[in-house]
Amino acid sequence: MEGVTLMKEGLNITPGNHLQFSSRRRFLKTIFAAGAAAYVSPLRLRGSPAASGRITLGFIGVGSHGTGVNLVGFLNQPDAQVVAVCDVYADRRAAAREKTEEFYKQKGCREVADFREIIADPSIDAVVISTPDHWHVPISLMALQAGKDVFSEKPTLTIGEGRELLKAVGQKKAVFQAGIEDRSCEHYHKMVEWVRNGAIGKVKHIEVLLPSAGAPDAGFPEEEPAPVPDGLDYGMWLGPAPFHPYTPTRTNMWHWRHIRDYSGGSLTDWGTHLVDTAQLLANAPGVCPVEVEGTGTVPQNSQSTVPIVYDLHYRYGNGVTMRVGKGPVVIRVEGDNGWISITGWRGKFEASDSGILRIRYENGTSKYGPRPPSEHRNFLDCVKSRAATTYSPLELHRLCTTLHMGTIALETGRGLSWDNAKEEFIGDAAANALQCRTRRNDWENKT
């Protein structure tokens, strides 16, 4: 079936795309309008604070990160109540339901196969999305349209999706949080604080090395189509992505991250962590670089379709340069009076002068704000206050735009210039055409 092309502004929505309710969606909405308003999960009645003060959550995607990080993170918040879990893998959603009920020591968490049931349920206040990347924005948009607040994992799949998400959150006056924890991590907060307070002088250059996210340099071997295993709804896993026959490792998180239909590789995966800190170090968090160029190689005879080895060079409007390449996890910032680096995720600090690492700032004396709470705590606080989250859709969009600029430079094979005001590549129609991708919509007719 012909998909929907999202135009440059990400706003031109044509009939048949994900914002149109399918017949199943209308059916579900009718059911919930008639009966679910009277339904209250047994879990919602448990304990203190009072049920009326709890934020009810539905989880969409409960794989390793969805369960080990997000589910655990929200279960431990006393003012949140997990009432439903969904996954295309039957065993994953069963395990998440069991984990939730074990935590609450009470039955009542619903196990859902189709995420649209969670979105259509008026008893659920917010959704937590921990799916593969190609689903992040489409599910977020559907949840926003249904009046829910959204916590979604990163990144966006395209620049156009980021604009689309940003507009939808603004129109609905919703609370949106991207699942990026770095600004709440002491290591990265301290690094930015030292730099913002002049510990190394004026910033000149930032080096960022990102791991391959599990992929060998040659990519993963090609595979022949195979029967879809029992317990997996592969059609729903694909969703808006182009159709491809099921292969044995395609839905493995280390594999799909390196297939362009679903993700942008380690650049957009790990990049959403360390490059966010880099943009804060560049003191340009509100804009993207103005230039990018680099090299990268897509593996041949592989199911991997993004560069696994790459070397990108950016320049910001304030003159700060940034290199992003493959390697062990490293972020290093160089100023005209020294440097600071962290090797490893929340790893070892080093500096040109070890005295820098001993600097502490008294309350009210730092030019950089206090370290925010975890992304889960921050989301719940903002749902209550209606304030902007640490990682708002604008923060996510600008961060992902920087990363997608790199993927587009690699795809076109040339250096690119970016206009931050117009959000477009300057004088390059072919590069601008890569800001958006067609989304397949025949998954919506699934019954």
Domains of the chain with CATH codes: 4-182 (3.40.50.720), 184-369+393-435 (3.30.360.10)
Show Cβ contacts of residue 191 under 8 Å, excluding neighbours closer than 6 positions. Answer: 277, 281, 331, 333, 340, 342, 349
**pLDDT at residue 214, as a whole number:** 86
Residue with tokens 């003012």: 79
**pLDDT at residue 23, as a whole number:** 40
Question: How confident is the model over 27-48, as pLDDT tens digits?
Answer: 344 434 433 433 444 454 433 3
Question: How confident is the model over 140-198, as pLDDT tens digits?
Answer: 999 999 999 999 999 999 999 999 999 999 999 999 999 999 999 999 999 999 999 99
**pLDDT at residue 444, as a whole number:** 80
**pLDDT at residue 333, as a whole number:** 98
At residue 263, the 3 state secondary structure works out as: coil
How many other β-carbons are positioned within 10 Å of the β-carbon of residue 420?
16
Question: How confident is the model over 242-262, as pLDDT tens digits?
Answer: 999 999 999 999 999 999 999
Dist CA 34 CA 17 (whole Å): 26
**DSSP string spanning 129-160?**
E-S-HHHHHHHHHHHHHTT-EEEE-S--SSHH
Residue 179: exposed, middle, or buried by beta-carbon count in 10 A (0-12, 13-18, 19+)? buried
Residue 97: exposed, middle, or buried by beta-carbon count in 10 A (0-12, 13-18, 19+)? buried
Dist CA 251 CA 73 (whole Å): 25
According to DSSP H, which parts of 386-434 are helical? Answer: 393-412, 429-433
Dist CA 106 CA 61 (whole Å): 22
Query: What is the biggest distance separating any 2 CA atoms in the chain, rounded to whole angstroms?
Result: 67
pLDDT lower than 70: segments of the chain = 1-52, 285, 446-447
**CA 277: distance to chain centroid?**
15
**Angle, vertex CA 409, rays to CA 403 and CA 414, nearest 5:** 155
**pLDDT at residue 285, as a whole number:** 66
Q: Look up residue 28 and give its two tokens.
A: 């579900």
